[in-house]
Amino acid sequence: MKPVLLDTGVVVALLDRSERHHPQCADVVASLGRPLVTCEAVIAESCYLLRNLSGAAEAVLENVARGVFLIPFQLSRAATPVRKIMRKYSDQPADFADACLVHLADELNTGEILTLDRDFAHYRWRKNRGFQLLIDLE
């Protein structure tokens, strides 16, 4: 079963019911029935953004502990390719988490991503493959 990449905005929307994309994100995740994979950078960003919502950061970590959010990414193996991705997209607002997810797409051979970040429409994995954005922001 091919995994789906998970970005920060969707994690935040799943745990913050007041976030405007919450219903759509919850529906899409519920309909997938596939593993959700991410990286520590996404987990850290999510915990930071949810810090003022009681229990939300703990819920992010609980989802990691329960295996709902899988983290197959290991920075010590990926630092060089992630650095190259960040350099490639230095003219765009590509952050560390985005670069890690692009690398993870290469590693896992999947471009399907749950994101609220429109920049993923411009990023490429495996050099020339576009991402398939599973959340419709239109």
> Using one digit for the tens of pLDDT, what is the confidence trace for 55-72?
999 999 999 999 999 999
Q: Does some domain include residue 138?
A: no
Residue 111 falls within a domain, yes or no?
Answer: yes
CATH number of the domain that 102 lies in? 3.40.50.1010
Contacts of 74 (CB under 8 A, 6+ apart): none
Tally the residues of the chain. Answer: 138
pLDDT at 123: 96
Domain that holds residue 97: 4-133
3-state SS assignment for residue 42: helix
Tell me the angle at which helices 40-49 and 96-108 cross, rounded to the nearest 10 degrees: 140
Task: Give the chain's end-to-end CA distance (angstroms, integer).
Answer: 28
How many CB atoms lie under 10 A from the CB of residue 29? 21
Cβ(93)–Cβ(119) below 8 Å: yes
Q: Look over the chain and give the mean of its residue pLDDT values, rounded to a whole number.
A: 95
Band of the pLDDT at 21, cuts 50, 70, 90? very high
CA distance 135 to 40: 22
List pLDDT tens digits, range 89-133. Answer: 998 878 999 999 999 999 999 999 999 999 999 999 998 999 999
Q: Is residue 105 part of a domain?
A: yes
Mean pLDDT of 64-88: 95
The amino acid at 28: V
Q: Does 100 fall in a domain?
A: yes
How many folded domains does the chain comprise?
1
Say if residue 1 is exposed, middle or buried (CB neighbours under 10 Å; 0-12, 13-18, 19+). Answer: exposed
In a domain, 47, yes or no: yes
User: How many CB atoms within 10 Å of residue 112?
Assistant: 16
